[in-house]
Amino acid sequence: MHRESFPILKKDIIYFDNGATTLKPFEVVEAMEDYYYNYGANIHRGDYDISLKASNKYEEVRDKVKHFINADSSREIVFTSGDTLSLNMIVFGFMEDYLNEGDEVLLTKSEHASLVLPFMELAKKKKIVLKYVPLTSEHELTLENLEATITEKTKVIAVAHITNVLGDVRDIKKITELAHQKNILVLVDGAQSVPHLKTDVKDLDVDFLTFSAHKMLGPTGVGVLYAKEKYLEAMRPILFGGGMNQYFEEDGTVEYKSIPTLFEAGTPPIAEVIGLGRAIDFLEEIGMDNIYKYEKELKEYLVKKLENNKKVILYNKKSESGILAFNLEGVFSQDTAIYLDHYNICVRAGNHCAKILKDELNIRNTCRISLYFYNTKEEIDKLVEVLEKSDELYKIII
Amino acid sequence: MDRELKREIIVDNYQNPFHKGLVNDSSYVKANTNNESCIDNIDIELKIEDGIIKDANFDGEACAISTSATSIFLRKIIGKSLSEVETLIINYENLIDEKEYDQDLLEDLMAYDTIYLQPNRKKCALLPVETIKKILSKIKDDDNGDKGIK
């Protein structure tokens, strides 16, 4: 779908690393270029026309994001430098005050470093307890296991909506239902889900949601932090500077602005936010439901084809997203990735920033294929064909 | 060395590596190297007595290039003195960096003489020497410590 918008696809490249970052359509880059060339002023500052235009465009994107994830108000949308900063802001600006010694935070072993590490640091500081909810034999999170891990001390559940190695889709709505009955907050990392399926924060009833623009056609350097207004009001900024204060005095008196501006110290990534806005338009033109349906269809096709190859080990056949982790029997994942690169097929090799997942899989490294709507069955056929003749692998890479 | 022979040496050492598996005994000195630019991760342990390498083992998960280079290196250094190992390392690093080296000293390690054509794989080929250098410097630190220099 819409391959003509992606200049890089004209270069005979097969891009299967969308979990790392997606390709950028011409329209997104054009919107950023338009800002830089035609109204490239700072925002919230000048009384002149192009500064007002830049401010309006920037704030329009906040509304776009609000509609895109169906938030109650644009006040709940904070622009950050990406998913990692969003998560760190929540952990060190909110959780640090909210959690007390002995309180428990539930995670799983398939979570990304950006979710686990801030909590690990906080655990050292505040003596909170991190618990990992056991996963099933298919490495998935079930409501039963989650419920069984909850104790009276459990205050927060922090999980990805879709995990980045195994691509399993969590039933967030059921999780929040269960959590909220027990006064537990739910933080959802949407980095791998918001780009791929319709995310409705009201319907899911999540308390916090984070994601990055660059995994959804947008530029690098910008992400979103969503929190229910009452929690955002209770959150402290962790970055201080221009743009976020009302006034400050020599004696230390300072008054900060209100949410969400309070959390956007310094000149924000203006062009990038504008690019994100165009990316959202692009995704909505296709329709998030169509994107999800198409990716699932591609994944099923990919699994069906690869199952015929005895040398291929698949780790997550059943997960309902466009992510497939695999290895070639007896071959180190990186060697497989280098072999595929020889045919201009881009896949990721490694532990994919989920370093503790090795305990679950009994294997440290995998190759990961992560699909997006511009991938095709023809590209999958090419991958399957190249993996079929992998007896030649060492001839190619050495 | 022709390409077919090089490939044979590399693949054979990757699939049947020499001394893979650690003893983890206190008579060995161990070091780990994580390749920062990729995902290779190996441990090497050396048993050194009177300045001679008596035994050498390794373990870890790494690509064909790193694993095979480690295997070949360990096989070569057993029985050698520390200064011989240092000379070997210098010659091998020169080979990888396209500088002058002694071909007779390197033998099987000549299989990596064209690795510079894939610059991103030079680090893979250098992984065993990075690790062995760490062990050698640990030993030197300990010796200096004994003499009170540290």
List the Cα angle A183/A171/A155 in 5-degree steps: 20
Report the C-alpha gap between A170 and A320 in whole angstroms: 10
Report the C-alpha gap between B5 and B108 in whole angstroms: 10
ipTM over 0.90: no
Question: How many CB pairs below 8 A link A and B?
Answer: 36
- CA distance to partner chain B, nearest, from residue A330 (Å): 8
Report the C-alpha gap between A153 and A140 in whole angstroms: 24
With an 8 Å Cβ cutoff, are B6 and A398 in contact? yes
Which residues of chain A does B121 touch, with a Cβ-Cβ cutoff of 8 Å? 338
Model pTM?
Answer: 0.90
Cα-based distances in Å from B85 to A256, A367, B73, B75, B77: 63, 36, 10, 12, 6
**CB distance A310 to A6 below 8 Å:** no
pLDDT above 70 for A127 = yes
Stretch B33-59: mean pLDDT: 87
- The second-level CATH assignment, the architecture, of B3-138 is Alpha-Beta Complex (3.90)
pLDDT tens per residue, range A159-178: 999 999 889 999 999 999 99
pLDDT tens per residue, range A67-111: 999 999 999 999 999 999 999 999 999 999 999 999 999 999 999
With an 8 Å Cβ cutoff, are B64 and A365 in contact? no
User: Would you say the C-alpha torsion A26, A27, A31, A34 has a positive or negative sign?
Assistant: positive
- CA distance to partner chain B, nearest, from residue A334 (Å): 6
Report the C-alpha gap between A286 and A293 in whole angstroms: 12
The answer to whether A367 is a known catalytic residue is no
Q: Select from B1, B38, B63 the residue whose CB has the most chain A CBs within 10 Å, as the one to mutate to test that interface.
A: B63
Q: Select from B20, B39, B115 the residue whose CB has the most chain A CBs within 10 Å, as the one to mutate to test that interface.
A: B39
Look up tokens 């071959």; give the residue.
Answer: A331
Domains of chain A: 3-26+287-397 (3.90.1150.10), 27-285 (3.40.640.10)
3-state secondary structure of A219: coil
A239 in contact with B at a CB cutoff of 8 Å? no
With an 8 Å Cβ cutoff, are B39 and A398 in contact? no
DSSP annotation of A93: I
- CA closest to A351 among chain B residues: B39
User: CB pairs under 8 A, 24+ apart, for A177-184?
Assistant: A177/A205, A178/A143, A178/A146, A178/A147, A178/A150, A180/A205, A182/A150, A182/A154, A183/A155, A184/A150, A184/A154, A184/A155, A184/A156, A184/A157
Report the C-alpha gap between B89 and A369 in whole angstroms: 38
Q: Select from A334, A342, A390 the residue whose CB has the most chain B CBs within 10 Å, as the one to mutate to test that interface.
A: A334
pLDDT above 80 for A46 = no
**CB distance A197 to A223 below 8 Å:** no
- CA distance to partner chain A, nearest, from residue B84 (Å): 29
Q: Biggest alpha carbon distance in chain A?
A: 73
| Tally of CB atoms within 10 A around A69 | 23
